[in-house]
Amino acid sequence: KNQVEQSPQSLIILEGKNCTLQCNYTVSPFSNLRWYKQDTGRGPVSLTIMTFSENTKSNGRYTATLDADTKQSSLHITASQLSDSASYICVVSVGNSGYALNFGKGTSLLVTP
Amino acid sequence: GAVVSQHPSWVICKSGTSVKIECRSLDFQATTMFWYRQFPKQSLMLMATSNEGSKATYEQGVEKDKFLINHASLTLSTLTVTSAHPEDSSFYICSAEFGANYGYTFGSGTRLTVV
């Protein structure tokens, strides 16, 4: 069964601190992995997308890593800002079924002053 | 960049009425669009895949007669919630893929409240 597990479920950090969110998956065959940021009451916004051969990808203060061997990904947020408070969703695509996406339940991040 | 516009952003309707939600790809053509439903603090759940010029493909457990999907053009898909009930209250989101390297672009979502 294809599954995407994210941890922690929620996280509170002080403004300016760094944090790392985790995503473990059992999706097979793997196509790509995407991280999205979803503000409350809004649709998800793409942060990064990585294929099998990519180990790391950055988007400003967001850096995603991928270990296809262990089927793990992480999203590192540097120098957090209050606006980073949101839900971060890991989405893994199945390789041979076109549009099949497997969503994690997300990590709810709260950045406090 | 790729933009998916979703309208309305929120709607309140009475039980028994129907509500239409529009999803437009603004600067690209989308042969396929997707409709999701999201409950509070839950992940997105795929409801159906909307295919331009053909019937939508519904996920197991989703009533196709209740959630009518029309994808009449390459830039517009609509979801109509028919005979809405309070249990249909939820956050509905559409998406489309701009290109393999860009991931899926999501609309801003529609908060439906049925009273």
Cα A81 from Cα A16, distance rounded (Å): 6
- Chain B interface residues (partner A, CB cutoff 8 A): 4, 6, 32, 34, 41-44, 46, 49, 91, 93, 95, 97, 100-109, 111
Q: What is the pLDDT of residues A60-94, one digit of tens each?
A: 999 999 999 999 999 999 999 999 999 999 999 88
Question: Which residues in chain B have Cβ-Cβ distances shorter than 8 Å to A50?
Answer: none
Map A45-100 to HEC letters: EEEEEEECCCCEEEECCEEEEEECCCCEEEEEECCCCHHHCEEEEEEEEECCCCCC
Give the strand order in the sheet containing A19-25. A4-7, A19-25, A72-77, A62-67, A56-59
Q: Is the pLDDT of residue A37 over 70?
A: yes
Q: What is the pLDDT of residues A38-61, one digit of tens each?
A: 999 899 999 999 988 899 999 999
Q: Is the pLDDT of residue A20 over 70?
A: yes
Cα B16 from Cα B114, distance rounded (Å): 9
Per-residue pLDDT at A74: 98
